[in-house]
A and B are shown apart, each in its own frame.
Chain A
Amino acid sequence: MGLNILLIDDDEIERLKFARVLQKNNYPHNIIEAINGEEALDVLAQKEKLPDLIFLDLNMPKMNGLEFLKELKADATLQYLPVVILSTSNNHQDLKEAYRIGASGYIVKPLKYEDYVHKIKCLIEYWTVNELVKG
Chain B
Amino acid sequence: MSNEDVDILKRALQREKAARKQAENILEDKSLELYQITQELKETNEKLEYLVGKKESELQGVFDNLVDAYVLMDISGNVLEMNHAANQLFGYDISKDTLNVMTLIYKEDYQYAMNSFQELITKGSFSNYQARVYTKNNGIRTVHINASIIKDKNKNPIGAQGIVRDITEELLQKQIFEEQKKQLSVIVENSSLGIALTQGGKIIQTNKAFQNLLGYSEKELVKKEVKDISLKDEYVASEDNMKRVNDGEIDSFTVNKRYLKKDGNTLWAKTNVGAVRNHNGSVKYQVALIEDITEQLEFEKQREKLVTDLEKTNQELKDYAHIVSHDLKSPLRSIYALVNWIKEDYSTVFDKSGLDHLSMIEKTLEKMEVLINDILSYSSVSNKDNLKSKDIDLNRLINEIKSIVLIPEHIVVSSKKQLPIIYGDEIRIQQLFQNLIGNAVIYMDKEKGEIEIDHKDKKTHHLFSIKDNGIGIKKEYHEKIFKMFESVGDNENSSGIGLAIVKKIVDLYEGKIWLESTPDIGTTFYFTLKK
* Cβ-defined partner of A109 (8 Å) among B322, B323, B333: B333
| CB nearest to B341 among chain A residues | A20
B326 and A59 form a contact (CB under 8 A):
yes
Known: A111-B329, A113-B336. 16 other contacts (CB 8 A): A11-B330, A13-B337, A14-B334, A20-B341, A59-B330, A87-B326, A88-B326, A88-B329, A88-B333, A91-B322, A93-B385, A93-B386, A111-B369, A112-B336, A113-B333, A113-B340
Q: Would you call A29 an interface residue if the criterion is a C-beta within 8 Å of the partner chain's C-beta atoms? A: no
Do residues B385 and A111 form an inter-chain contact, with CB atoms below 8 A? no
A interface footprint on B326-359 (CB within 8 Å = 1, 0 otherwise): 1101101110111111000000000000000000
- Assess whether A111 is in contact with B330, with CB atoms less than 8 Å apart: no
Do B366 and A111 touch across chains, with their CB atoms under 8 A apart?
yes
Q: List 6 A-B contacts (CB under 8 A).
A: A13-B333, A87-B326, A88-B330, A88-B333, A93-B385, A110-B333
- In the complex, whether B365 has a CB less than 8 A from a CB of chain A is yes
Q: Which 6 A-B pairs have the closest CB atoms?
A: A13-B334, A113-B340, A88-B329, A113-B337, A111-B369, A88-B326
Instruction: From A11, A88, A111, name the one whose CB has the most chain B CB atoms within 10 angstroms.
Output: A111
Interface membership of A4, Cβ < 8 A: no
Residue of B nearest to A58 (CB): B326
**Chain B residues whose C-beta falls within 8 Å of the C-beta of A87 in the assembled complex:** 326
**A101-135 contact mask (Cβ, 8 Å, vs B): 1 or 0:** 00000000111111010000000000000000000
B358-387 residues with Cβ-Cβ distance < 8 A to A are 362, 365-366, 369, 385-386
Determine whether the beta carbon of B326 is less than 8 Å from that of A116: no
CB < 8 Å A-B pair total: 51
B277 to chain A, nearest CB (A): 61
Contact A13 B338 (CB under 8 A): yes
Cα A59 to Cα B336 in complex, Å, equals: 19
Interfacial chain B residues near A88, Cβ < 8 Å: 326, 329-330, 333
- By a CB distance below 8 angstroms, the chain B residues around A109 are 329, 333
Q: Quick check: B326 and A111 within 8 Å, CB to CB? A: no
**Which residue of chain A has its CB nearest to the CB of B386?**
A92
Min CB distance A100 to B, Å, is 15
Q: Quick check: A111 and B340 within 8 Å, CB to CB?
A: no
Min CB distance A104 to B, Å, is 22
- In the complex the two chains form, is B365's CB within 8 Å of A111's CB? yes
Q: Are B327 and A116 in contact (CB under 8 A)?
A: no
Q: Are A116 and B386 in contact (CB under 8 A)?
A: no
A111 touches B334 (CB 8 A): no
Decide: A89 near B326, CB < 8 A? Known: A13-B337, A112-B336: yes
Known: A20-B341, A92-B386, A93-B386. A111 touches B336 (CB 8 A): yes
| A11: contacting residue among B334, B336, B362, CB under 8 A | B334
Q: Chain B 374-411 against A: per-residue CB contact (8 Å), 1 yes, 0 no?
A: 00000000000110000000000000000000000000
From residue A57, how far is it (CB to closest CB) to chain B in Å?
9
Q: Smallest CB-CB separation from B327: which chain A residue?
A: A59
Contact of B333 among A89, A93, A114, A116 (CB under 8 A): A116
Chain A proximity mask over B305-340: 1 for CB below 8 Å, otherwise 0: 000000000000000001100110110111011111
Task: Give 1 or 0 for each of A43-79: 1 = CB within 8 Å of chain B CB.
Answer: 0000000000000000100000000000000000000
Give min CB distance, A99 to chain B, whole Å.
16
